[in-house]
Amino acid sequence: MLNILAEYDIPVNELLPLASARSAGSTVQFKGEDVVIREASDDAFKGMDFVLGAVEKDQSKQFAPAIVRSGAVYIDNSSAFRMDPEVPLVVPEINGEDARANHGIISNPNCSTIITAMAIGGIAALSPIRTMIACTYQAVSGAGQAGLAELENQMKALAEGKPLERKVFPHQIALNVIPFIGSLTDNDYTDEEMKMQNEGRKILHLPDLKVTCACVRVPVMRSHSIAVTLRTERKISVAEANEAIRNFPGCRLIEDYEGRIYPTPLDTSGQDLVWVGRVREDLTDENGLTLWCCGDQIRKGAASNAVQILRYLIS
């Protein structure tokens, strides 16, 4: 978030990094200068215009009332308020206007939801989407720094013929895939899988959208990939869909990139565009389309989207 604030040249008059008591007194770099971290407390938010949150949902709920009382707008990256009907859930390119109706809190959606919504946003503008089947292939960095370290350590152990240690993921992730992310819900889907439907409905303003989702952890360092099949109210041709994706802000349609018609996680890491390719007719429904998309879940799927919400509001 700090890097992207600087990269986007957001006019920051005063930066106030807040963290736990353990981190207070240490520094972070912003635009080449060291800025001292202070301890987060209810009084720490006074005088701030915007607060960007990157904490667990329990901490978010703890500090949100104080942030709102301070008069700041809280852009929260946790899941704490995403389904609260009074809190906008925003991807600026799709429903940026919703951010203006905030009551002091704006939620950043789930990373896979953001990337998928961006990929289909142009198509949804042509005709309402009725159903969607999504399979996400999620990088280990989605589990945080520890997820990255676990894959790195396991790959090194394999190369050296040493025993593999496992702490973050329920099974070995090196040379493997794990078709389960999140916690199991009553309908045998995980909460991570249900976010695609629940959050998608809110972002796209499609309250009846039906989604089946499978979330898979893959041994990729960064950038999530999603295979999407959607059914629209009216038939959208592949040519129409391609044109809509090509012209949608924040998307890049891959028709021929280095001799191929699809993006990969490596292509999309470290930048904010969602790359979309392999757009084709669904063979099971005449109103269906199938596509493949990739996006950096740390940037557009999280930090960049939050900063883009801030930029949208101050513009």
The tens digit of pLDDT for each residue in 234-249 reads 999 999 999 999 999 9
Helices vs. strands in the chain: H and E counts, helices first? 9, 13
pLDDT at 207: 98
- Inter-residue long-range contacts of 101-106, CB under 8 Å, 24+ positions, other chains counted: 102/73, 103/68, 104/67, 104/68, 104/72, 104/73, 104/74, 105/64, 105/67, 105/68, 105/73, 105/74, 105/76, 105/81, 106/73, 106/74, 106/75, 106/76, 106/309
For 308, other C-beta atoms within 10 Å of its C-beta total: 23
Selection from 58, 69, 73, 65 nearest residue 20 by Cα: 58
pLDDT value of residue 232:
98
Q: Summarize the confidence of residues 206-210 as an average pLDDT.
A: 98
* Domains of the chain, CATH where assigned: 2-109+303-314 (3.40.50.720), 112-297 (3.30.360.10)
55: how many CB neighbours lie within 10 A of its CB? 18
- For the segment 293-303, the average pLDDT, to the nearest whole number, is 98
C-alpha–C-alpha distance, residues 301 and 136, integer Å: 13
Catalytic residue annotation: 111, 224
d(CA 216, CA 65): 35
pTM of the model: 0.97
Arithmetic mean of pLDDT, 212-235: 98
pLDDT in tens, 6-20: 999 999 999 999 999
Q: What digits encode the pLDDT tens for the residues 111-151?
A: 999 999 999 999 999 999 999 999 999 999 999 999 999 99
- By CB atoms closer than 10 A (0-12, 13-18, 19+), residue 155 is middle
**Spatial distance between the Cα atoms of 276 and 132, rounded to a whole number of angstroms:** 16
Summarize the confidence of residues 176-194 as an average pLDDT: 98
pLDDT tens track for 246-265: 999 999 999 999 999 999 99
Mean pLDDT of the chain: 97
pLDDT at 5 (0 to 100): 98
Which pLDDT score is estimated for 162?
Answer: 97
Count Cα neighbours of 230 within 13 Å in the Cβ-side half-sphere: 30
- CB atoms inside a 10 Å sphere around CB 201: 17
pLDDT attached to residue 212? 98
Q: Give residue 303's pLDDT.
A: 98
Helix, strand, coil percent values for the chain (each to nearest 5): 35, 25, 40
For range 197-225, the mean pLDDT: 98
d(CA 294, CA 137): 9
Owner of token pair 């925003």? 90
